[in-house]
Structures are given as C-alpha cells and as structure tokens.
C-alpha cells in the first residue's frame, strides 16, 4: 500500500470510535489530577531530576518515581531494577562482570541490576532515553540516577510558597522479589516519607504497586493513600491465583477497597481499543470503582502517534505528535479522578479544559 493510500485510509477511519458519552463526575467531585509519569518523560530521560523538574514547571499535580533498591538499601528511581535500557551501564567495563540473568516475577531477565550496585557505583552511571526511536537521544548522558531523598528535596524546594504543593506518587517495583533478597521496600519507604513530613490520609502522596501483599503491609503500618495498579492481562506477581480481571469486577473492587484508596488501571480497561486502534465503548470500571469508594487513575497517556488511538493520530510517522488532548478529554468524560502522562505540557491544559466543561 502506498503512503498516499494509507493516508487516505487513515482519514477515512479517523471518525470511527465510540459514540459521545455523557460526562461523569469524579469520585469526590474535585478536578482530576495529572500525574507526571516518570516525570516529563516525553521530553527528558525518565526518572531523572531534570524530568521531574520539568514536570513541576509544566504544572503536574504529582510526580511519579518508580522505586528500586541498591545493594546498600537505598531507594533510587528506575523503571526496573534491570538498568541496561535506561543507563549507560553497558559502556562501563568495570561493571562487565556484573552482567547476569535473574528470575524476576517468574521471568528470566538478563542485564545489570540495581541490587548488585552500591549507590556510589550507580552514581557513576548516566541516564539515557528508553525509547530513542520515538524520542531521540539528545539528552543522553547528562543526568544521574536520583535517590528518592533527592527527589523529595526537589519537591521541598519547588513547593516553597505554593498554596497547593506538588505531590509525590511512588511505585514499589517488584516488592516481593526485593523482599526475598533481603531488601524490602516498606520500612525505608515509610521512614523517608515520615522524615519529609508525609503523614496521614490528606498528605500529597499516593503509594502504588502492581502487587497486593506490600500494599497490605503498608496499610498495616500507615494510613497514607494507596493505589492498586492493574493491567489488562495477568495478575499480581505475589499471588499467582489472582487476576487483574477478577480484581476489576465489582466483588474484586470491594476487596481492593479494604486496603487501598484507588486503582491505577491500564487505560484500555476503561475504554478498550478495536483491532485497528479505534476507541470502543467505555466499560463499567470507573463506575464500579467509584461505587466501591475507589479513585481511578489510568495509565499512560502519551503524545506520539505510536501510542494514540486512530482518530487522534497526527499522521503516519510513529514518532510524530498527534492530538493527545482529544484522547484525554474522551477519557475525562468517564469520570476518571486523574491520569498518568509522559507529557504534562499537553496533559495539564487538556485536563483543565476538559474538567471545566
């Protein structure tokens, strides 16, 4: 098929998708929040202070660090404990012997792992873009791996004089794996949040996890807000018998509400996509979660055509930018209480405009 014919087909199909829906309210009637997914990760390498700083400047309500641990028990921000995709570790011959294969959540993973490095050693590495084909490499090699404490220091400085402080939304990555090797998340996470003044249910923080056990363990020690993450397939790594599909039905949501304050589902659990990428009709997930008293914060909204639904693509180039605001406004009508986005530059005004209608 020629590019011209493909373009015509794209235009012909661009109107396909769900019928307009009546706008629903958020759980508490407040405007939805924008969570900067790994910072402004659409513009800077993810999980760097530069990415978080830019997200704050762009008006995000929360910044999201994924947390893993070092050999010496320090919480640092990386999407995974395997770091070859997001750092230049492969270019450091002094660490070549640490290349390894491990079983993480039942799957074999090969690379370099944070738990095999001290913080001082990790600080010699530099971050790089995780999806360079879509976002380029202009900022590679410029930024360190930040500790959770350094991220909170950034927030302290940024929040001075603000009436509405920017919050933090940490995710515990592979908590049962880390607990099994003697590096549990819960104690250091709660200790550092306490040190920085995050206390009580109204603190500007959400703690999230795809697993269940560590959220329950945190709930037993703290009343900080908790979010149960969910994907469209599979289930929590710490409970092979459970599935996210079952957790997302009314009975499952009622059980989640016994220990968590909300859910963070894959956005396609709210509005599924058809085979050609058109948005379908919304499911009952938001309504069911609200009935159980749970907030709903879906992930992840990104501006590149590669990620957008068909009607909101801006062309045939996967790295090109489409109409992210249009996708966000469609989801806002379901009553979601917030959303994760790599692009707060676009997401913040889209949410403000969509919520005002």
Please give the pLDDT value at position 23.
84
Contact 34, 347 (CB under 8 A): yes
Please give the pLDDT value at position 113.
98
Please give the pLDDT value at position 270.
98
Please give the pLDDT value at position 357.
65
Contact 215, 175 (CB under 8 A): no
At 123, give phi and psi (nearest 5°): -70, -15
Contact 55, 68 (CB under 8 A): no
Helix (H) or strand (E) holding 109: strand 107-111
Please give the pLDDT value at position 354.
79
Please give the pLDDT value at position 19.
52
Closest by CA to 112, choosing from 79, 84, 91, is 84
User: DSSP state, 310?
Assistant: G
**CATH second-level architecture of 20-82+145-355?**
Alpha-Beta Barrel (3.20)
Token reading at 332: 């806002």
Question: Which residues touch 211 (CB under 8 Å, ≥6 apart)?
Answer: 172, 175, 176, 236, 237, 238, 239
Q: Which residues of the chain have pLDDT under 70?
A: 1-21, 356-357
Please give the pLDDT value at position 348.
98
Please give the pLDDT value at position 8.
34
Question: What are the CA-CA distances from residue 209 to residues 61, 214, 215, 316, 341 (Å)?
Answer: 19, 8, 7, 35, 17
Task: Supply angle C-alpha 197, 199, 200, rounded to 5.
Answer: 160
What's the CA gap between 112 and 245, in Å, rounded?
Answer: 32
Backbone region of residue 335 per phi and psi (left: phi > 0; alpha: psi in -120 to 50; beta: other values)? left
Q: How many CB atoms lie within 10 A of CB 195?
A: 10
Please give the pLDDT value at position 100.
98
């Amino acid at each position: 098929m020629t590019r011209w014919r493909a373009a015509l087909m794209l235009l012909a199909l661009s109107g396909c998708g769900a019928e307009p829906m009546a706008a629903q309210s958020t759980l508490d009637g407040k405007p939805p929040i924008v969570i900067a997914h790994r910072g402004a990760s659409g513009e800077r390498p993810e999980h760097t202070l530069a990415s978080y700083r830019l997200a704050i400047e762009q008006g995000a309500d929360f910044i999201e660090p994924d947390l893993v641990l070092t050999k010496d028990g320090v919480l640092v921000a990386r999407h995974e404990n395997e770091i070859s995709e997001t750092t230049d570790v492969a270019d450091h011959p002094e660490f070549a012997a640490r290349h390894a294969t491990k079983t993480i959540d039942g799957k074999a993973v090969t690379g370099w792992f944070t738990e095999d490095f001290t913080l001082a050693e990790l600080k010699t590495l530099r971050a790089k873009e995780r999806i360079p084909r879509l976002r380029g490499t202009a900022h590679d090699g410029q930024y360190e791996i930040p500790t959770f404490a350094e991220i909170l220091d950034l927030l302290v400085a940024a929040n001075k004089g603000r009436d509405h402080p920017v919050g933090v939304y940490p995710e515990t990555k592979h908590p049962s794996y880390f607990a099994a090797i003697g590096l549990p998340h819960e104690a250091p996470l709660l200790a550092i949040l306490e040190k920085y003044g995050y206390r009580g249910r109204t603190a500007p923080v959400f703690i999230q996890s795809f697993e269940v056990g560590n959220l329950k363990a945190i709930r037993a020690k703290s009343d900080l807000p908790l979010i149960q993450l969910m994907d469209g397939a599979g289930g929590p790594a710490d409970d092979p018998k459970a599935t996210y599909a079952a957790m997302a039905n009314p009975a499952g949501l009622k059980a989640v509400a016994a220990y968590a304050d909300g859910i963070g589902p894959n956005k396609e659990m709210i509005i599924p996509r058809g085979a050609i990428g058109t948005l379908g009709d919304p499911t009952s997930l938001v309504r069911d979660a609200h009935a159980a008293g749970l907030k709903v914060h879906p992930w992840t909204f990104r501006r590149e055509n590669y990620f957008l639904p068909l009607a909101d693509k801006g062309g045939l180039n996967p790295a090109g930018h489409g109409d992210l605001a249009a996708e966000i406004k469609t989801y806002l009508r379901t009553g979601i209480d917030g959303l994760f986005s790599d692009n707060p530059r676009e997401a913040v005004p889209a949410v403000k405009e969509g919520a005002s209608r």
